[in-house]
Amino acid sequence: SQTIHQWPATLVQPVGSPLSLECTVEGTSNPNLYWYRQAAGRGLQLLFYSVGIGQISSEVPQNLSASRPQDRQFILSSKKLLLSDSGFYLCAWNRAEIRAGELFFGEGSRLTVL
Amino acid sequence: AQSVAQPEDQVNVAEGNPLTVKCTYSVSGNPYLFWYVQYPNRGLQFLLKYITGDNLVKGSYGFEAEFNKSQTSFHLKKPSALVSDSALYFCAVRGLVTGGFKTIFGAGTRLFVKA
């Protein structure tokens, strides 16, 4: 069966510090990978998605970047965090070969920038 | 452009009563529609989806959803609510946009089931 792991679960960082959130998927190959941010426990905003190694699409201009160094690894990064980067970050995947494929989410990483 | 609207921020029902969480959508072409549930401090879990065929879709935990093409709606329903159904529910649409297929989520509806 497929699983998705996301870490760290909780992170408190000072303004201006770097960030690295990691996500890995097991039990499948060549998944589509996504990073979402959820603010104030409500709607989801798509930040980045990837259809393959080294292929990253950004949905909104921001202080964050994403990378996919391996097929099932997706990393969200920042060189200098802003207060506005605080939120709940969710990694997700779905099957590239299925158009109507549902998303499978990790447990999330809660980032607080102080 | 595709979009999803969940007109209710919150829905309150008594345990044992039927529940409905509303969703309307806008998408070019045939829609792929989804419902997800989120419990506090957790990731989203897939409940059900509509691709084609029967307008009534059955999913996990006794939930079902009715696709209505003329009203562009995909309301989530359950005949008898449980206290444990209390959570945040998201409707989503997946459609073809520039660059490929994208999934867009509604703002979410918080469901409170009272004992």
Asked: is A3-113 a CATH 2.60.40.10 domain? The reply is: yes
C-alpha to C-alpha distances, B51 to A29, B26, B65, B99, nearest whole angstrom: 24, 15, 12, 21
Query: Would the CB atoms of A99 and B32 count as touching at under 8 Å?
Result: yes
Query: Would the CB atoms of B41 and A99 count as touching at under 8 Å?
Result: no
Q: What is the pLDDT of residue B92?
A: 95
Q: Does A110 touch chain B (CB under 8 A)?
A: yes
Q: Which residue of A6, A88, A100 is in closest CB contact with B32?
A: A100
pLDDT band at A35 (very low <50, low <70, confident <90, very high): very high
> Looking at residue B84, which CATH number applies to its domain?
2.60.40.10
Query: Would the CB atoms of B34 and A104 count as touching at under 8 Å?
Result: no
Which among B39, B41, B63, B67 is the top mutation candidate for probing chain A, defined by the most A β-carbons within 10 Å of its own β-carbon?
A: B41
Percent of chain A with pLDDT over 90: 80
Q: Which residue of B41, B42, B105 is in closest CB contact with A44?
A: B105
Q: How many domains, chain B?
A: 1
Domain ranges of chain A: 3-113
pLDDT band at A41 (very low <50, low <70, confident <90, very high): low
- Which residues in chain B have their CB less than 8 angstroms from residue A43's CB? 105-108
pLDDT band at B99 (very low <50, low <70, confident <90, very high): low
Domain extent at residue B17: 3-114
**Do B72 and B93 meet the contact criterion of CB atoms below 8 Å apart?**
no
Beta strands in chain A (DSSP E): 3-7, 10-13, 19-26, 31-38, 44-52, 55-58, 65-70, 73-78, 87-95, 104-105, 109-113
Q: What is the pLDDT of residue B41?
A: 86
pLDDT band at B73 (very low <50, low <70, confident <90, very high): very high
Query: Would the CB atoms of B49 and A90 count as touching at under 8 Å?
Result: no
- Which residues in chain A have their CB less than 8 angstroms from residue B101's CB? 99
Q: Which of A1-15, A30-44, A49-63, B92-106: highest mean pLDDT? A: A1-15
Q: Compute the distance between CA of residue A29 and CA of residue A96 in angstroms, rounded to an integer.
A: 9
Q: Which of A27-41, A86-100, B5-19, B40-54: highest mean pLDDT? A: B5-19
Token pair recorded at residue B69: 């093409």
**Do A112 and A12 meet the contact criterion of CB atoms below 8 Å apart?**
yes
Q: Does B94 touch chain A (CB under 8 A)?
A: yes
Identify any residues that bridge with B96 across adjacent strands, giving them in sequence order: B101
